[in-house]
Structure 1
């Protein structure tokens, strides 16, 4: 009988970890397509096949669940955006457009709701990471600028590659993606002196 107990405890621990992973995956999936304020714990629990009480027992609170889910989403986004090599303007534009096609609508909705204390940190992180990505992927071209001029160029590149530029080109002007990407590449290359 004593030998069965450690096995039972390991099986329970494995089951709990599997449930935790399912709940977190459900929260991540919800965050990718909806505003956090629109997501109920019932939605996450139903998608994971558990009760709301189980979600709360595993994560303690809705805020903690979504903090962890946001970390996962941000890491996935970073991995996706890191596909372009530094200096590759076309690759950078392609990864931005891939990102915006997947998350653009949620990002724009979050920007509209950034006064909400639950949304404001997400918007702040998004802005910081976008600026960081611009600096990283266009670092070779930025090397010829210095001081205040470099910061103004980075500001301009952040504006050019912003989600609203994607929305303007692809949604409002209804340009085909290939044409929209070519337009953004032209803007960036014009500023940086590339071809």
Structure 2
């Protein structure tokens, strides 16, 4: 009889973990498409095809669920953005555009909603990671920059590669993606060559 009980407990644990994963994936999907402040537990539950009570049982609260979902989403973004080798300007620009084409709209909407503390924290994380990624990807180009100009050049490159630059080129000016990517690459090259 003991082996039957063990099997049942294992099956329940596996089922609970599958449900938890489904809930998490639903929350991650919603974070990609909506402002954090616009995500309700009922929305997550509906996406995951479970009850709100099941969501709460699995994660404890809406805030805890969204924190775990944000961590998962940031890891996913990081992996995608790290595909280009450091020093590969065109590859880096393509990776940024892939990212911005996927989530640029929601990122710019979140940045406009920074007065909400939870959104402000996400925006701060995004800025920190963006700067670190730009400096990582363009490290070979930055090696030749004199120390007296380094901070200014880094700031210029962070701005050139920003989501707002993508928005200006793609949404506001309506440039086709290849042209917009070439413009961002030109900005990067121009900044580095001007040092």
| CA positional deviation for 1:9 | 0.4
2:109 paired residue number: 109
Q: Distance in 2 between matches of 1:133 and 1:148?
A: 22
Q: Distance in 2 between matches of 1:69 and 1:159?
A: 27
| CA positional deviation for 1:3 | 2.1
Q: Distance in 1 between matches of 2:146 and 2:11?
A: 59
Q: Distance in 1 between matches of 2:118 and 2:153?
A: 32
Structure 2 spans left out of the alignment, 5+ residues: none
- List per-residue Cα deviations over 1:146-191 (Å, max 9, x = no partner): 4341111010001111111111111111111101111111111111
Structure 1 spans left out of the alignment, 5+ residues: none
1:15 lines up with 2:11 in the alignment: no
Q: Distance in 1 between matches of 2:40 and 2:146?
A: 48
Q: Distance in 1 between matches of 2:2 and 2:92?
A: 59
Query: Aligned-residue CA RMSD in angstroms?
Result: 1.0
Deviates more, 1:83-92 or 1:185-194: 185-194
Aligned length: 194
Q: Distance in 1 between matches of 2:85 and 2:185?
A: 15
2:80 paired residue number: 80
SS of equivalent to 2:83:
coil
Q: Distance in 2 between matches of 1:172 and 1:150?
A: 31
Deviates more, 1:144-153 or 1:109-118: 144-153
SS of equivalent to 1:50:
coil
Runs of 4+ in structure 1 off by over 6 angstroms are none
SS of equivalent to 1:119:
helix
